[in-house]
Amino acid sequence: MSTIKKYAIILSLPVISLTSCVSEGNDPGIEYSPNMYISQAYEPYSQEKEFDYNPNGMTMRLPVNGTIARGQLDYVYPHPNTAEGYEASVSFQPQFAATKENVQEGERLYNIYCWHCHGKKGANDGPIFKTKKMNPPPWAGYDDPYIKELPVGKIYHTIQYGKGFMGSHAAMLNPEQRWQVIHYVKYLSLGDAFTFASDDEDLAVAEVEVSDSTEAATN
């Protein structure tokens, strides 16, 4: 390369560098290091180039309907959050039995998540009901025949979705814990008439049938 060419290049460098980086209108100018803006790795919520088979432009795809994460089979609850779903929940059977250990754990959980409304022994005398911050349920307490006779599946439905002023507790209790709390509610409700399950009964996890037409809740 001739000396003149070399000088021409060296002299033009500041000019190029001063003009090329100026952004104008919609033109971002030259990016110094595009890898810092546009990730080389696939980003879950975006895709650099959309294409026909990926109209959402996201690398991450929704799982196929009905997909259940490994180890979360017992989260499947087949009844939707409707009046009909509530009625149908009567048939939903415990996935965890009322063993002494489960009832004890239910008591611990109840005293975290439930007592401030329903009261330590279920007399609807928790601070929230007592101070009238919220209207108590239409039944007096857990010793009311309504709760004594209430099918456990319906209580599960109420914990899953909430009912009236009671919000959903699905995010706080996993299915095992929901059943532990439900057994404790029945224990408070039935008193001496409550029967504990034997330890080996704790193994049976109900098979839940999910049909295509049912929008199963999995939270």
Q: What is the pattern of x (binds ligand HEC, CB under 6 A) and - over residues 74-113?
A: ---------------------------------------x
| Euclidean distance between CA atoms 205 and 173, whole angstroms | 17
Q: Minimum CB separation from ligand HEC for residue 212, in Å?
A: 27
What is the closest distance, in whole angstroms, from the C-beta atom of residue 165 to ligand HEC in the complex? Answer: 4
Q: How far is the CB of 50 from ligand HEC (least distance, A)?
A: 45
Closer to ligand HEC by Cβ: residue 114 or 217: 114
Short-list 89, 124, 103, CA closest to 195: 103
**Nearest residue to 188 (alpha-carbon basis) of 113, 100, 121:** 121
Contact with ligand HEC (CB under 6 A) among 95, 99, 102, 158: 158
Q: From residue 185, how far is each of 18, 79, 115, 156 by CA, in Å?
A: 75, 22, 11, 11
Residues 162 to 191 in contact with ligand HEC, rule: CB under 6 A: 163-166, 169, 181, 185
Of residues 11 and 83, the one with the C-beta less far from ligand HEC? 83
The one among 154, 170, 175, 188 contacting ligand HEC by CB under 6 A: 154
Alpha-carbon gap, residue 182 to 168, rounded angstroms: 14
Interface with ligand HEC includes 159 (CB under 6 A)? yes
Q: How far is the CB of 218 from ligand HEC (least distance, A)?
A: 19
Question: Which residue in this structure is represented by tokens 């009625």?
Answer: 87
Q: Give the C-alpha distances (Å, rounded to integers) separating 26 from 21, 22, 30, 33, 36.
A: 13, 11, 12, 19, 20
- Selected range binding ligand HEC among 16-24, 69-77, 96-104, 156-164, rule: CB under 6 A: 156-164
Residues with Cβ within 8 Å of 103's Cβ and at least 6 positions away in sequence, in order, are: 180, 183, 184, 187, 196
* Cα angle, residue 119 at apex, residues 75 and 135 outer, rounded to 5°: 85
Which residue, judged by CB position, is nearest to ligand HEC in the bound state? Answer: 164
Give the residue, chosen from 68, 73, 123, 128, that forms a contact with ligand HEC under the rule CB under 6 A. 128
> Taking the complex as a whole, how short is the minimal distance between the CB of residue 97 and ligand HEC, in angstroms?
17
Distances (CA, A) of 86 to 75, 125, 129, 132: 17, 26, 24, 27
Which residues make up the interface to ligand HEC (CB under 6 A)? 113-114, 116-118, 128, 134, 137, 147, 150, 154-155, 158-159, 163-166, 169, 181, 185
